[in-house]
Amino acid sequence: MRLLVSVRSAAEVAAAVAGGAGIVDAKEPARGSLGAVDAPTLRRIAAAAPPAMPLSIALGDVRDPSALGAALAALEGIERRPRELYVKVGLAGVREPAAARAVLAAAVDAASASVLRPDVVAVAYADHDAAHALPRDMIGGLAAEVGARGVLLDTWSKEGRDLFTWVAIHEVERWLEQSRRRGLLTALAGSLTVDGVRRASGLPADILGVRGAVCAGGRLGRVDEGRVRSLAAALMGPGRAAESVA
């Protein structure tokens, strides 16, 4: 399982990488759970990341398929394609399966037609009712149908309740296994603390994403190298994590 750390500026990249992040994720937390950074900030984040570091980019929650072209246009300023490049597409506010499928299909088509050809990751929300979105199982099925690369289970609300307060751990495990059977890359996020990361570390997810838990001052604060290192250790085993957090 790789640790994904969300950064809102190029200045946070060094701390994320030095602390042990396996993926750098460009996201503006002040704009919501999947807030997109602006194009100049994205270019600076991509330039600050090491050449071999995978890059993930939040595009926000998309209701209109025609908006995908403009959202992906921000990637055109990236000078070099990272070894792995992902774009995350949320579906808050989209309750009809046909409409959600249209958005995801448009994202896959637009990504395939772009110069950098990023892989699309569909975002399902554990608190889907609050997000006015479809349930997680439906998002996974639609993602597989349209040829998305992966699926992320996150929380839309960032008010202190983590992923496991919304979904029991055995249900998360079932969802991950189902997504894997569909051939999807799997990721988990959702206001996870160190304890939450420890719980998630035993699950069959490919990627675990964090923001607030690695920031001094909460998710709107600044990424701290020591906090990243603590969570990276938590993914490697309870003994190592306890030593790091102490």
CATH of the domain at 12: 3.20.20.380
Q: In the chain, what percentage of residues exceed pLDDT 90?
A: 85
Of the listed 3, 20, 21, 27, which one is catalytic? 27
Residue 69, pLDDT > 90, answer no
Q: Per-residue pLDDT averaged across 168-197, rounded? A: 96
Q: Which pLDDT value is given to residue 237? A: 64
Q: Which pLDDT value is given to residue 159? A: 82
Residue 245, pLDDT > 70, answer no
What would the 3-class secondary structure string for the chain be?
Answer: CEEEEEECCHHHHHHHHHHCCCEEEECCHHHCCCCCCCHHHHHHHHHHCCCCCCEEEEEEECCCHHHHHHHHHHHHHCCCCCCCEEEEEECCCCCCHHHHHHHHHHHHHHHHHCCCCCEEEEEEECCHHHHCCCCHHHHHHHHHHHCCCEEEEECCCCCCCCHHHHCCHHHHHHHHHHHHHCCCEEEECCCCCHHHHHHHCCCCCCEEEECHHHEECCCCCEECHHHHHHHHHHHHCHHHHHHHHC
Q: Report if residue 233 sits inside a domain.
A: no
Q: Report if residue 159 sits inside a domain.
A: yes
Q: Report if residue 246 sits inside a domain.
A: no
The number of distinct structural domains making up the chain is 1
Q: Which pLDDT value is given to residue 241? A: 39
Q: Report if residue 239 sits inside a domain.
A: no
Q: Report if residue 98 sits inside a domain.
A: yes
Q: Report if residue 240 sits inside a domain.
A: no
Residue 242, pLDDT > 70, answer no
Q: Which pLDDT value is given to residue 100? A: 98
Q: Report if residue 75 sits inside a domain.
A: yes
Q: Which pLDDT value is given to residue 26? A: 98
**Residue 113 banded pLDDT, cuts 50, 70, 90:** very high
Q: Which pLDDT value is given to residue 238? A: 53
Residue 164's domain comprises: 2-226
Active-site annotation holds for 158: no
Q: Which pLDDT value is given to residue 240? A: 41
List pLDDT tens digits, range 149-182.
999 999 999 887 899 999 999 999 999 999 999 9
Residue 191, pLDDT > 50, answer yes
Of the listed 8, 43, 88, 128, which one is catalytic? 88
Q: Report if residue 232 sits inside a domain.
A: no
